[in-house]
Structure 1
Amino acid sequence: MSSIASPGLWAITVAVLVVLLTADFAVTRRPHEVRMREAVGWSLFYLALPAAFGVLVWQVYGPRPAVEFLTGYVVEKSLSVDNLFVFMLLLGAFAVPAALAQRVLLYGIAGALALRAVFIALGAAVLHSGAWAFLLFGAVLLGTAGKVLRDAARGGEHTVDVANLRSVRLVRWLLPVTAEYHGAALTVRHAGRRALTPLALVVVAVFMTDIVFAVDSVPAVYGVTEDPYLVFATNAFALLGLRALYFVLRNVLDRLRHLDYGLAVILAFIGGKLILHWGHKQWPDAVPDVPTALSLAVIAGVLVTVTVTSLIANRRSGRTGPPDPGSPGRGGSAVTGSSPAGRPDRV
């Protein structure tokens, strides 16, 4: 499995990521509520970065890796939009102050980058062991697509049970937790001993959701490209813009009522593509291999379709304004419980 990246390129990429994350932490050092203008500005910046990177890859390495990167980025970005909906529920369940929301998301992004690096390395090792890995990844994505589709058909219900989160219960068992937030601090001295703040609990919950998301997203991108460097780059660029994108989309996520159907189709398509790729490796003359350009067209077409159908459905139902904070979200989402906690039961 060849890669366009040399050790030097890997080092430069990691260094740039560290600089960008450091800049983000500097921006969020003083907690403040993010306004739309600021969020849009950062979102445009983080959209310009992968576009410039794609042009650079095209010029230096040719069109094929550039198209693979662009396709993988679109896949990751589409999956991350659905992830934002879960983050929105988490922040609501923890009653995170608006001024601290971007710091929570940034901790989650930093943790997600580290986790994706581990999962990408494991995925590369599995693929290197033999073509059977494409069958494994394909089966994982088809299974995930089926679950997403079933949940969407049942109403796409997302719930956050703040009383029954394993990760949060474990953290509370290990250390005491204060009843209120203390700015951006994760720990404080309370009653003569070190205690966690609710901010630490929500960071743990977001970090645990990152593990669940990585299980789906990394095999999906490996369905587009076998280059570990490009897989990492697509994940990194998609995650870096997640914080700003959250504040741009938080009032419109609820309107994307058909997004889950689109994600199910995309995951099923890539899962089928991986299985065909395995067959192509075994019987190259009998089984076709799906071109990356076709994958990009299909994925883009699905996303456009579900966006248009969501807008039409919203217009017919009269949903024109942003959802009420306490009302059920897309497909009947809900937040249960009264104290800071985190994601659904498996977290």
Structure 2
Amino acid sequence: MPELSYSAGELHSVGTPLLWTVTIGGVLALLVLDFAVTHRPHRVSLKEALGWSAFYIALPLIFGAWVWSEFGSEQGVHFLTGYLVEKSLSVDNLFVFMLLLAAFAVPTELAQRVLLFGIVGALVLRSVFIALGAAALQTLDFAFLIFALILLFTAAKLLRDAFTGHEQSVDIGNMRSVRLLRRFMPVVHEYHGTKMVVRVNGRRALTPLALVVVAVFATDAVFAVDSVPAVYGITEDPYLVFATNAFALLGLRALYFVLHAALSRLVHLSYGLAVILAFIGVKLGLHWAHGVWEGVPLIPTAASLLVIIGVLTVVTITSLRATRNVVPGSKEVVTERR
């Protein structure tokens, strides 16, 4: 399979203005649908979560098949590989959301509203990074090298956090976003439904829901820095990069309730993500070097897809084996994950 190789100023995209308009319109329509579903706070049943998860998994598969038939197998493989990478990173994002929801003691009926705000924030931030990434690829010959270094640094940080257990704790009091909000407005201790601001003794005050939403937005920014360079390591097409991110994020609200117990059993996920990000970082570095020196090999996207599937399969199996005697969702699982 031939590998796309673009230099600065030669970036091409399958996304026509009409396709961009239809895709963005579809994403907005799905977000409106999600907000309508979560308008009345309620506990999400497993049946409801499974139904929505099946819907949001079917959508990218249908879209990927359409890309394959419309633009060829190469672009189809690029989309499916990029989607798998983004979905894997999103699952790790979900684990952080789970820690935040627990740390802020978010009521179960409000959890999906918090997750939905997180998804919207992630989409907005990643769209900004996608645009910046596309501009960098068009103007900077060493943009791929920068992306490679970002991913290698992130992979090293993931490994360090996995070994030290740093990722397992959330200290609300030390979060900069939370401290900043408390400087400007008082905060009440109890939740008031979906309200983020209430009046107490004639003064406006923030509810804990506002704090957790801001905290989720802050984590969105961190994950956007990692995820966008990762998918640019699969395809340089800004439209496909946006599509993979959108499809990976839209189903997170339902997926959270499906995987809530299982998430804590994926004790080796961070190691797998570190390997995947390091692999894509090396791929990007070779891509940059290929344009500078002759004879530097490239890693085909098909090979990348096999590596990513292999790594995820291995860490899932080893995680489940490591926690086979632990009740899902218990404190023992978190300890084992460390």
Query: Where on the TM-score scale, by shorter chain, does this alignment land: which range?
Result: over 0.9
User: What number of residue pairs does the alignment pair up?
Assistant: 328
8 A contact 2:266–2:320 mirrored in 1: yes
Aligned counterpart in structure 1 of residue 131 of structure 2, from 121, 126, 147: 121
Seen in structure 2, the aligned counterparts of structure 1 residues 98 and 172 have a Cα distance that, compared at 3 Å, is same
Change beyond 3 A, Cα 1:221–1:327: closer
1:74 equivalent in alignment to 2:80: no
Query: Normalising by structure 2, what TM-score?
Result: 0.94
Over residues 31-61 of structure 1, what are the superposed CA-to-partner deviations in whole Å (9 max), with x where a residue is unaligned?
0011111111111100000001001111111
Of residues 231, 242, 245, the one that matches 1:232 is: 242
Separation in structure 2 between the aligned mates of residue 19 and residue 235 of structure 1, nearest angstrom: 16
Q: Is this contact kept in 2: 1:256–1:330, CA < 8 A? A: no
1:111/1:157 CA distance change after superposition, 3 Å = closer
What is the aligned counterpart of 2:199 among 186, 189, 207? 189
Distance in 2 between residues matched to 1:329 and 1:8, nearest whole Å: 50
Output the CA distance in 2 between the equivalents of 1:126 and 1:36.
43
Match in the other structure for 2:303? 294
Instruction: Name the residue aligned to 2:71.
Output: 61
* Range moving further from structure 2, 180-189 or 147-156: 147-156
Match of 1:312 in 2: 321
Establish whether residue 32 from structure 1 lines up as the match of residue 42 from structure 2. Answer: yes
Greater Cα offset, 189-198 or 84-93:
189-198
- CA change 1:330–1:107 in 2 (3 A) is farther
- Partner residue of 1:338? none
Contact 1:31 1:103 in 2 (8 A): yes
Q: CA deviation at 1:174?
A: 1.2
**Offset of residue 314 of structure 1:** 2.1
Residues 148 and 264, structure 1, Cα contact 8 Å, conserved in 2: yes
Cα separation, 2, equivalents of 1:177 and 1:159: 22
Deviations 1:283-303 (A, max 9, x none): 3x4011111111111000100
How high is the sequence identity, in percent, across the aligned residues? 65
**Equivalent position amino acid for 2:154 in 1:** T
CA contact (8 A) 1:105 1:243 kept: yes
Letter in structure 2 aligned against 1:144: T
Unaligned runs of 5+ in 1: 333-347
Give distance in 2, aligned partners of 1:330 and 1:252: 13
Q: 2:61 aligns with which of 51, 65, 82?
A: 51
- Pairs within 5 Å for 1:186-225: 186-225=196-235
Q: Provide closer, same or farther for how the CA distance between residues 226 and 327 of structure 1 changes in structure 2, counting only shifts above 3 A.
A: closer
CA RMSD of aligned residues (A): 1.4
Report what 1:345 is aligned to. none
Q: TM-score, normalised by structure 1?
A: 0.92
**Matched residue of 1:195: which SS?**
strand
Give 2:329's match in structure 1, choosing from 319, 323, 330: 323
Query: How many Å separate the matches in 1 of 2:164 and 2:332?
Result: 21
Asked if the contact 2:147–2:284 (Cα under 8 Å) also holds between the matched residues in 1, the reply is yes
Q: Deviations over 1:118-168 (max 9, x none)?
A: 010011111111331111100110111111112223346421112111101
Residue 259 of structure 2 is aligned to residue 249 of structure 1? yes
Does residue 100 (structure 1) correspond to residue 106 (structure 2)? The answer is no
Q: 2:292 aligns with which of 258, 277, 282?
A: 282
Secondary structure of the corresponding residue to residue 199 of structure 2 = strand
Give SS of 1:188's match: strand
- Measure, in 2, the Cα distance between the counterparts of 1:38 and 1:27: 11
Higher share in helix: 2
Contact 2:266 2:337 in 1 (8 A): no
Check whether the contact 1:142–1:271 (CA below 8 A) recurs between aligned residues.
Answer: yes
Change beyond 3 A, Cα 1:94–1:255: same
> Helix, strand or coil: the match of 2:82?
helix
Q: Is residue 264–residue 334 contact of structure 2 (8 Å, CA) maintained in 1?
A: no
- Secondary structure of the residue aligned to 2:173 is coil
In the alignment, what sits opposite 1:336? none
1:109 aligns with one of 113, 119, 123: 119
Is contact 1:4-1:61 (8 Å) kept?
Answer: yes
Post-superposition offset of 1:188: 1.8
The secondary structure found in structure 2 opposite 1:255 is coil
Distance between the aligned counterparts of 2:57 and 2:44, measured in 1? Answer: 18
> Hey, what's the Cα distance between the residues in 1 that align with 2:188 and 2:144?
47
Question: What's the secondary structure of 1:194's corresponding residue?
Answer: strand
1:189 is paired with a residue whose SS is strand
